[in-house]
Amino acid sequence: MDIETVVSEPAKLGESPMWSAVEQKLYWVDIDGRALHRFDPSTGQDESWPMPEEIGCIATRTDNRVLLGLRNGFANFNPTTGELIRLLDPEADKPDNRFNDGTTDAKGRFWGGTMRMGAPAEKPEGAFYRLDADLGCHRMIDGFWTTNGLAFSPDGRTLYLSDSNAKVRTIWAFDYDLDAGVPSNRRVFVDTRDMAGRPDGGACDADGCYWMAGIGGGELVRFTPTGKVDRTIKVPVRNPTKIAFGGRALDVIHVTSLQRAGDPPDPLAGRLIAITGAGVTGMAIPPFAG
């Protein structure tokens, strides 16, 4: 197994890596740096586009545009022209909230979670939303401090999500009605309070195992579908934020990370990392169907 830094310029808050099978490139974001990035493994080049506000999550589209989850709602972005078209803002009444984590289900619906920025809220103000192909937006699950961990099982019938807040640090699983886009039977999948890291971004591999970026713990953790720890990979950053499987065989694990003021020295903090030779294959994430 080989672990290397593939983008040396550090992000302030690297997040939301998303592999484009069509382009064979990795999109990812710098939330606090307000930028969308696109990394080309074949050349080692990383492009970026400034955003008008914090950008939390993304999805690829079939028309080569990118769906964005911004501080002020959803937008489409065209990397070729630089055109950004705003779509809708489900939390226009909450100016201190922004989108954080997101992914698509097997039907191409986009799931995105929100969280409060800045000073801690007095109560959990984040929620998970489902954006349909017709741009119908539905508030699905309430009561979260820091929405994270969104991923779907290979058959699309299990939804995973988490709250990485230090008071919660729990991953849940749901049965997922793929036809209706509705989760049910919420249950604790993993309580991470006895683990080194808190549950940040999540992903599922082709074997149906769930991967957690253990923020604060410097590790990636693979869980079996029953929630048992199967494998741990130490990474050279204290705060990995999310993983995405990429490469033509979906066997490269890309890891984003963040810098945190006041932390002990962490020389590679904020870099984009690639892990090869792990012996694991990921799942292709469907593009947004809208």
98 is in an annotated binding site: yes
Question: Can you give the pTM of this predicted structure?
Answer: 0.97
How many whole angstroms separate alpha carbon 15 and alpha carbon 258? 8
What sections of the chain are H helices per DSSP? Answer: none
User: Would residue 283 count as lying in a domain?
Assistant: no
Q: Would residue 216 be called left, alpha or beta, if left means φ above 0 and alpha means ψ between -120 and 50 degrees?
A: left
Give the tens place of pLDDT for each residue, 6-62: 999 999 999 999 999 999 999 999 999 999 999 999 999 999 999 999 999 999 999
CA distance 20 to 91: 28
72 marked as part of a ligand binding site: no
Asked if the structure places residue 284 within a domain, the reply is no
For residue 162, is it within any domain? yes
Taking CB atoms within 8 Å and a gap of at least 24, the contacts of 133-137 are 133/108, 133/109, 133/288, 133/289, 133/290, 134/290, 135/74, 135/87, 135/88, 135/290, 137/74, 137/88, 137/90
Whole-Å CA distances, 212 to 83, 131, 179: 34, 24, 27
Is 288 part of any domain? no
Taking residue 249's Cβ as centre, other Cβ atoms within 10 Å add up to 9
Can you list the alpha helix ranges (DSSP code H) found in 32-118?
none
Q: Is 67 inside a domain boundary? A: yes
Give me the residue label for tokens 């294959």. 281
Whether 285 maps to a domain, the answer reads: no
- Whole-angstrom CA distances from 147 to 36, 44, 141 are 20, 31, 10
Local structure of 110: helix, strand or coil: strand
Please check if 125 is assigned to a binding site: no
Tell the residue number behind the tokens 């937008």, with chain if given.
75
Known binding residue 91? Answer is: no
Identify the pLDDT of residue 175: 98
The first and second tokens of residue 36, run together, are: 């969308």
Nearest to 184 by CA among 192, 199, 172: 172
Question: What is the DSSP track for 4-45?
Answer: EEEE-SPPSBEEEEEEETTTTEEEEEETTTTEEEEEETTTTE
Domain of residue 138: give its range: 2-276
Q: How many CA atoms lie within 13 A of 53 on its CB side?
A: 18
Total structural domains within the chain: 1
pLDDT at 46: 98
> For position 85, which CATH number holds?
2.120.10.30
Does the annotation flag 193 for ligand binding?
Answer: no
Question: Does residue 282 lie in a domain region?
Answer: no
In a domain, 290, yes or no: no
pLDDT in tens, the chain (290 residues): 999 999 999 999 999 999 999 999 999 999 999 999 999 999 999 999 999 999 999 999 999 899 999 999 999 999 999 999 999 999 999 999 999 999 999 999 999 999 999 877 789 999 999 999 999 999 999 999 999 999 999 999 999 999 999 999 999 999 999 999 999 999 999 999 999 999 999 999 999 999 999 999 999 999 999 999 999 999 999 999 999 999 999 999 999 999 988 888 899 999 999 999 999 999 999 999 99
Cβ(70)–Cβ(54) below 8 Å = yes
List, edge to edge, every strand of the sheet that includes 240-246: 2-7, 272-276, 252-257, 240-246
Angle at 251 between CA 247 and CA 254, to 5 degrees: 70
Active site residues: 200
